[in-house]
Amino acid sequence: MRILCLHGVGSSGKILESQLQPFMQAVDPSYEFVFVDGPFLCERGPGMAAFLDGPFFSHTAGYSPDQVAEAHDHLEGAIDDLGPFDGVLGFSQGGALALSYIYRKQVQDKMRPFKFALIMSSVIPCSADPSDCQNAIRRLTAPRNPDHVAPTGQDERVFTDLISKTVAEARKNKALLPDIDLDVYTAGGDARVAPRLMHQLLLKEKIWMPTVHVAGKRDYPFMRAMSDAARGICDAKLARSLEHSGGHQPPQKTAEVKAVIRAMDWAISQSQRVAHLNI
């Protein structure tokens, strides 16, 4: 079983490997974990302990559709060079990248790039497709007549609520990296570069792949909101959710690690069941 591992922002493959030691030591020794660094040098990520040495990386230079597509291209290059892989494990930004990439491959290429995904403390996934969330962003960036306020549509309400609970709060807490200019979502903003935050009500379909979602009970509320949104874009029938007692980190306690492994085993068994079905 070969698993591709994607680190969080302002981190590295080496750091994620150290964070995952309890998990890696508890799984079957035949499992192989392959860690890759993001292509962009980055400042130390939010919450990164001072004793952790750089360099630090990001999987993306930003979150516009073009920048997310660039991150997908780099990820696909790593898969071509180092794969194939049975599954993907993504932590924080790495989890969001994995889900965004899986969604794009499913919608555009009608394929599953992995058999299963293990997503830990995901931040908000962003789409590489400019047509996603198009109605909401078009309404938000349209010039406004000061004498007439246009009625707010459902898409716009969903999108603005998602912004306020996730990226706006992360920015307020200096935990948004790379930063997102929220002015792009205001009247007159450049809709072409506005990040397409992924929400289950605004996408064409849900991810139809076995996924396991892990979050820390003591993580920040805006991080939990991001993880909830990430889980929401996955088909509920093929998803399992777990909590551990820590914060924004992979689980460390033996019992909690074992629970994640059981959930991963379930995802692997589900992947074998659905492998013969078309997307």
User: Which one of the listed residues 12, 64, 248, 271 is annotated catalytic?
Assistant: 248
Q: Comparing 278 with 272, which gets the higher pLDDT?
A: 272
Q: How many domains does the chain have?
A: 2
What CATH number has the domain bearing residue 43?
A: 3.40.50.1820
List pLDDT tens digits, range 104-115.
Answer: 999 999 999 999
- 11 catalytic, yes or no? no
Could you tell me the CA-to-CA distances from 136 to 114, 132, 162, 183, 185 in Å, in that order?
31, 9, 12, 15, 9
Q: Residue 52 above 90 pLDDT?
A: no
List pLDDT tens digits, range 180-223.
Answer: 999 999 988 999 999 999 999 999 999 999 999 999 999 999 99
Provide the residue range defining the domain that includes 220: 2-129+197-274
Residues 228, 113, single domain; the answer is: yes
User: Does 30 map to a domain?
Assistant: yes
- 73 catalytic, yes or no? no
H helices present in the chain, as ranges: 13-19, 21-26, 65-82, 93-109, 134-141, 154-165, 167-172, 221-232, 254-274
User: Does 191 map to a domain?
Assistant: no
Residues 222, 113, single domain; the answer is: yes
User: Does 210 map to a domain?
Assistant: yes
- 92 catalytic, yes or no? yes
What's the pTM?
Answer: 0.94
